[in-house]
């Protein structure tokens, strides 16, 4: 008998988010590490879910997702991005954004394919590429703005390049794609067979009146893109793990083949509730300003610390250099400040495959003002 298996992800261990959140809980530290709100979601949306359950929406909805929800999403996309998306053939509801990304990669990738991945990046990207037998071709975003060097992208494209993975607004840096990035991307993929995976889970969390550069705005990009979203980020309910993927009708057929034997269909009452709540435009249109206020409040509080904050144009996150304080490795520094000053943060090196360390940590500011105040009271002592 040989019950030994060959790991499909030999270099993967427990993620830093689990480690830092565990440490924060054990030490009762303020947790500015993992990205989730510590304030309540909309009571109206909670009531709608309760109502859906009481009204007996508790059985499977179709594999593609509850149709009224997909219709509401198509209307929203038309309104926001001036794009016509067919709810029947182009939208699939998924159990979260991460799952949508994994499913899209699994739909497209064959062993040996190359995928351009910009780092630092959300921690699932590289394992998701590699578990499909494909190769992540890594490109560092230019520090400290975390911008894409499109010339480097041109150099790294080969006949094996199958996909480019994008994330705007970007976790962990808070950078966003601008019009010139879109122009460069369009010229690079034109006449190629390259697909785009566009992680837009923070689509509404864009600050300073800048537009969210969704792939859906550009028909030539949309036709080759899998665009992934998360209701968790939009409605302050990350624990719901509900999202969706939008792609062309042809690609949707293949996406759903993978999806239907993995999850099949997602939580019904939440979909019913969201199909009504989505009609409330204000709930998502006000999100950017609300989160910008939190960013600015945090920046204001941090003025009299020794951290040097970098720019954040979107997402839940802002990064900071700490080289005025220490030259420790960022992971050692993050663990030490959690233990000594009671504030949990994430070292940015964990978002690089080779642990590139620029002495930068990531703060999550989607927290109550009192949480941010308590955290900064600790950070001021450093």
Binding site for ligand PLP (CB under 6 A): 35, 96-98, 122, 167, 171, 199, 201, 230, 232, 238, 241, 243
Classify strands 161-167 and 195-199 as parallel, antiparallel or unpaired.
parallel
Return the number of the residue (204 or 378) whose C-beta is nearest ligand PLP.
204
Tokens of 116: 């351009």
**Least distance to ligand PLP from the beta carbon of 124, Å?**
7
**Least distance to ligand PLP from the beta carbon of 54, Å?**
26
- List CB contacts of 308: < 8 A, sequence separation 6 or more: 320, 321, 322, 323, 324
Note whether 215 and 240 are within 8 A (CB).
Answer: no
Other Cβ atoms within 10 Å of 219 Cβ, number:
10
Return the number of the residue (201 or 291) whose C-beta is nearest ligand PLP.
201
Q: How far apart are CA 58 and CA 63, in angstroms?
A: 14
Return the number of the residue (103 or 305) whose C-beta is nearest ligand PLP.
103
**Least distance to ligand PLP from the beta carbon of 253, Å?**
23
Q: How far apart are CA 64 and CA 80, in angstroms?
A: 22
Return the number of the residue (33 or 269) whose C-beta is nearest ligand PLP.
33
**Least distance to ligand PLP from the beta carbon of 196, Å?**
15
With b for 16 or more beta-carbon neighbours within 10 A and e for fewer, the 94-105 pattern comes to bbbbbbbbbbbb
Q: What is the dihedral of CA 232, 265, 257, 136, to 10 degrees?
A: 30
Tell me which residue of 99, 140, 144, 134 sits closest to 119, measured CA to CA: 140
* SS3 state at 284: helix
Return the number of the residue (98 or 359) whose C-beta is nearest ligand PLP.
98
**Least distance to ligand PLP from the beta carbon of 230, Å?**
3
**Least distance to ligand PLP from the beta carbon of 235, Å?**
11
**Least distance to ligand PLP from the beta carbon of 197, Å?**
11
**Least distance to ligand PLP from the beta carbon of 232, Å?**
4
Return the number of the residue (106 or 230) whose C-beta is nearest ligand PLP.
230
Tell me which residue of 296, 270, 313 sits closest to 369, measured CA to CA: 296
Return the number of the residue (225 or 305) whose C-beta is nearest ligand PLP.
225
**Least distance to ligand PLP from the beta carbon of 118, Å?**
12
Peptide bond between residue 169 and the one before it cis (omega within 30 degrees of 0): yes
Q: How far apart are CA 83 and CA 76, in angstroms?
A: 9
**Which H, E and C letters describe 43-96, residue by residue?**
HHHHHHHHHHHHCCCCCCCCCCCCHHHHHHHHHHHHHHHCCCCCCCCCEEEECC
Return the number of the residue (238 or 271) whose C-beta is nearest ligand PLP.
238
Return the number of the residue (97 or 347) whose C-beta is nearest ligand PLP.
97
Note whether 199 and 101 are within 8 A (CB).
Answer: yes
Q: What is the DSSP letter of 211?
A: P
């Amino acid at each position: 008998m040989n019950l030994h298996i060959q790991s499909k992800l030999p270099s993967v261990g427990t993620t830093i988010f689990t480690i830092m959140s565990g440490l924060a809980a054990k030490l009762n530290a303020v947790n500015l590490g993992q990205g989730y709100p510590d304030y309540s979601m909309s009571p109206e949306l909670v009531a709608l879910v309760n109502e859906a359950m009481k009204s007996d929406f508790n059985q499977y909805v179709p594999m593609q997702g509850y149709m009224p929800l997909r219709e509401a999403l198509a209307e929203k996309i038309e309104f926001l991005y001036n794009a016509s998306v067919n709810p029947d053939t182009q939208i699939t509801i998924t159990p979260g954004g991460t799952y949508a990304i994994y499913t899209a990669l699994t739909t497209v990738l064959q062993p040996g394919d190359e995928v351009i991945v910009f780092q630092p990046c959300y921690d699932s990207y590289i394992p998701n590429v590699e578990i499909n037998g494909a190769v992540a071709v890594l490109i560092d975003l230019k520090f400290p703005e975390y911008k894409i060097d499109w010339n480097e992208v041109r150099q790294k494209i080969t006949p094996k390049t199958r996909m480019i993975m994008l994330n705007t607004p970007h976790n962990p840096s808070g950078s966003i794609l601008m019009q010139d990035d879109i122009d460069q991307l369009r010229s690079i993929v034109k006449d190629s067979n390259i697909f785009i995976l566009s992680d837009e889970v923070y689509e509404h969390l864009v600050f300073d009146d800048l537009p969210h550069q969704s792939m859906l705005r550009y028909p030539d990009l949309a036709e080759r893109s899998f665009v992934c979203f998360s209701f968790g980020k939009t409605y302050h309910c990350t624990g719901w793990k509900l999202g969706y993927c939008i792609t062309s009708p042809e690609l949707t057929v293949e996406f759903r083949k993978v999806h239907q034997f993995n999850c099949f269909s997602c939580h019904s009452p939440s979909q019913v509730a969201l199909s009504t709540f989505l009609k409330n435009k204000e709930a998502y249109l006000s999100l950017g300003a609300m989160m910008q206020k939190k960013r600015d409040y945090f920046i204001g509080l941090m003025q009299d610390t020794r951290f040097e904050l970098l720019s954040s144009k979107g997402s839940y996150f802002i990064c900071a250099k700490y080289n005025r304080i220490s030259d420790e490795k960022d992971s050692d520094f993050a663990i030490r400040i959690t233990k000594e000053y009671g504030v949990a943060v994430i070292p940015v090196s964990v978002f690089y495959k080779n642990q590139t360390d620029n002495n930068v940590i990531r703060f999550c500011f989607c927290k109550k003002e009192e949480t941010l105040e308590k955290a900064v009271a600790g950070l001021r002592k450093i």
